[in-house]
Amino acid sequence: MGRTVSKAELGEIVGRDERTLSRWQKDGMPVIEFGVGRGNENQYDTQAVIEWLMRQAALNGKKESTRDRLDRLRGDREELALAKDLGEVVIEAEMVSRFEAVITAAKIELLNTLPDELSATLSAQYGVQVDDQLIREPIELILRRLSAYDEDDDDPEWDPDEPDDEEGSEEDGE
């Protein structure tokens, strides 16, 4: 998904006036949200609009018939199925479940197995009793920091020890 913009912003991006954008909208240009009521503007996804414009350019101004659109969609579906069969693309839901399983296995290993085994190894090697909590506590701290990670947070000064901002927080004055 691209950036969400108003009609005026979209006009600046594509170099057309708002009347042209209104005409394109009637011709099928995608709109994310229709502004209802006075002062509420339509919202557009720049990526979707640019893709739509590219399809229109490929048609050389000709209208795409229902049959042509259906054929194009079927072709797209076949291409996607082939790419999946060839391992060139993956389904997001499958990747998420696999990733979650790997993360869970790693957490179990880090929290349950590693501290006990490492403390036993260090105790045997150095001849002193090593408390597994000395190993477990830093691991728990690291896992807490990782669980606080927000992929949408582009702040380079992000502090993993601070909780994510909540909507309507006291800092915002709401």
Tell whether 158 is covered by a domain.
no
pTM beyond 0.85: the answer is no
Tell whether 107 is covered by a domain.
yes
Mean pLDDT of 85-92: 86
Helices 18-26 & 7-14 angle (0-180, nearest 10): 100
Q: Which region among 16-20, 53-57, 67-71, 160-164 has the lowest average model confidence (pLDDT)?
A: 160-164
Same domain, residue pair 82 and 129:
no
pLDDT in tens, 115-125: 999 999 999 99
pLDDT in tens, 24-46: 888 889 998 887 766 678 899 99
Tell whether 120 is covered by a domain.
yes
Tell whether 133 is covered by a domain.
yes
Question: What is the model's pLDDT at position 168?
Answer: 45
Same domain, residue pair 36 and 25:
yes
Tally the domains of the chain: 3
Domain that holds residue 31: 4-58
Tell whether 171 is covered by a domain.
no
Half-sphere exposure of 18 toward its Cβ, with a 13 Å CA cutoff?
Answer: 8
